[in-house]
Chains A and B, each alone.
Chain A
Amino acid sequence: MGAKMVSFNGWDMPVEYPSWGGIVAEHMAVRNGVGIFDVSHMGDIRLAGPGAQAAVQHITINDVSRLAVGQAQYSAMLYPQGTFVDDVIVHRLGEDEYLIVINAGTREKDFNWVRENTRGFDCKVEHLSDDFTQIAIQGPRGVDLLQKLTDADLSAVKFYWVTRGTVCGLKNILIARTGYTGEDGFEIYIPSDEATSERVWKEVLEAGKEFGAVACGLGARNTLRLEAKLPLYEHEISDTINVWEAGIDRFCKLEKGTFIGHEALQKAKSAGLKRTLVGLEMIERGIARDGYKVLDDAGKEIGYVTSGSPAPFLKKNIALAYVPPEFAEVGKTVRVEIRGQGVAAQVVPTPFYKRPKKASSGEPRAAN
């Protein structure tokens, strides 16, 4: 395959595939056609039993009682102080069955957290991370590609819904219309044995040829999610950042009743924000990178960049940053310290990129 590998939270992960053109080509393929990602590093926790819904309500911020069977939602698990254990996708697979998709770097921590905090509920908690190879098929042509390989009617699956079907000859495969790119797309969960994983990966690439499908690595995954303002753990969200600061208010349903972090979030809300996540676009020449300082016009440090990169589709240098609320207004200019120089940037509306509207909706985007 000729992938350039990198160690990511202990996983050997493809960062880019130079033979397919590298990050920019991979990024553009997802925006304009279709790209395929091996995202097996993502973890999965299954909760099943009569108390599963109450358990998931207790450990997540969104309201799972609103989910129909087959529907999914963006959500998060919090510590009692209102900061993030992780952000997650919760799928309702059955009447009393939920699948929580978690991040690679937080797998063990997340599983232990779920197990410890659901002991009092009548449900079984299983860590299924090693059972699945997760392949993401992302981009406007993703639906056409995957439809060639499955008997499931994908046109009937709305964004943030799941179905099951035969994929590449494998029966009863979980197919979710989800992703982390800001595009329409699917994630399929296939058995993790190497022979099966490799066969399906190859068949997906082969089926994608007519759509110009490209194998994509972590590099493009990061630039795509940044353009769409989708948070990354230890960057936009972490165990020191709360829900209001991260601006994912619309996925947090305080009114559903109590959950872990509820009390702290209520307090934080009445106390007001000390910092907030904003989108920046560089005005002067320079690229903001993760961890760079944000300065005011006088050169005083006011915040920091959580994620920064050239944006291949927008052809701008963009960043997400935490700044005090008085600097968060669109149009406000700040400076990003790049190698000792304060380089001008402007607060811009987010998400930086929004895909052209089609029928689907419900994208887990941070609040505008």
Chain B
Amino acid sequence: MNYPADLKYTKEHEWIKVEGSTATIGITHYAQESLGDIVFVDLPKAGTAIAAGKTFGTVESVKAVSDLYAPATGTVADANADLATSPEKINKDANNTWMIKVTLANPAEVANLLSAADYEKFVSEEGGS
């Protein structure tokens, strides 16, 4: 239930929702829970190229700094400006709080990512909820 079936997931705890050749990306419920109170998000500007498996930004909680990893390759179309002033929205609803919108280089690439069921299994093995 915490992990909607229409999203795909990475082992680094990002989700991606693909609609045609564009996608929205955020972090998972598990990630926000592990981080605790999120206080800062650093996101790339529109036009920035991102590459699957590489970092595209940073999220910080009170206690820790974590890199954000791109689930797919593409170009940033938009970044959620709301998060500069209200990063806590991610804690409140991680699945529905997007960070960036991306024009995908190869939408088929996303098929290799984890399904909701696989991700849930993965985090339960990591000791998560």
In the bound complex, residues from chain B placing their C-beta under 8 Å from that of A23 are 36-37, 61-63
User: Is the pair B39, A310 in contact by a Cβ cutoff of 8 Å?
Assistant: yes
User: Is the pair B36, A18 in contact by a Cβ cutoff of 8 Å?
Assistant: yes
In the bound complex, residues from chain A placing their C-beta under 8 Å from that of B40 are 285-287, 310
Complex interface bits, A276-310 against B, C-beta within 8 A gives 1, otherwise 0: 00000000011101000000000000000000011
Query: Which of A22, A285, A309, A339 interacts with B36 by CB under 8 Å?
Result: A22
Complex interface bits, A114-125 against B, C-beta within 8 A gives 1, otherwise 0: 000000000000
Interface status of B65 (Cβ within 8 A of chain A): yes
Closest A residue by C-beta to B63: A219
User: Is the pair A287, B84 in contact by a Cβ cutoff of 8 Å?
Assistant: no
Interface status of B120 (Cβ within 8 A of chain A): no
Interface status of A16 (Cβ within 8 A of chain B): yes
Alpha-carbon gap, A24 to B38, bound state (A): 10
Q: How many residues of A contact B (CB 8 A)?
A: 18
- Known contacts being A23-B37, A310-B39, is A219 close to B65, with CB within 8 Å? no
Alpha-carbon gap, A286 to B39, bound state (A): 10
In the bound complex, residues from chain A placing their C-beta under 8 Å from that of B33 are 18
Alpha-carbon gap, A339 to B57, bound state (A): 10
User: Is the pair A24, B62 in contact by a Cβ cutoff of 8 Å?
Assistant: yes
Q: Taking the nearest CB of chain A, how far is it from the CB of B125, in angstroms? A: 17
In the bound complex, residues from chain A placing their C-beta under 8 Å from that of B60 are 287, 310
User: Is the pair A312, B62 in contact by a Cβ cutoff of 8 Å?
Assistant: yes
Closest A residue by C-beta to B57: A339
Most A CB within 10 A of own CB, among B36, B37, B63 = B63
User: Is the pair A16, B39 in contact by a Cβ cutoff of 8 Å?
Assistant: no
- Known contacts being A22-B36, A23-B36, A219-B36, is A310 close to B65, with CB within 8 Å? no
Q: Which B residues contact A (CB, under 8 angstroms)?
A: 33-34, 36-37, 39-40, 42, 58, 60-63, 65, 84
23 contacts between A and B (CB under 8 A): A4-B34, A16-B36, A18-B33, A18-B36, A22-B37, A22-B62, A23-B37, A23-B61, A23-B63, A24-B37, A24-B62, A219-B36, A219-B62, A222-B63, A285-B84, A287-B39, A287-B60, A287-B65, A289-B65, A309-B63, A310-B39, A310-B40, A339-B58
Query: Given A4-B34, A15-B63, A219-B63, 19 more contacts at CB 8 Å?
Result: A4-B36, A16-B63, A18-B33, A18-B36, A22-B36, A22-B37, A22-B62, A23-B37, A23-B62, A23-B63, A24-B62, A223-B62, A285-B84, A287-B40, A309-B63, A310-B39, A310-B40, A310-B60, A312-B37
Q: Which A residues contact B (CB, under 8 angstroms)?
A: 4, 15-16, 18, 22-24, 219, 222-223, 285-287, 289, 309-310, 312, 339
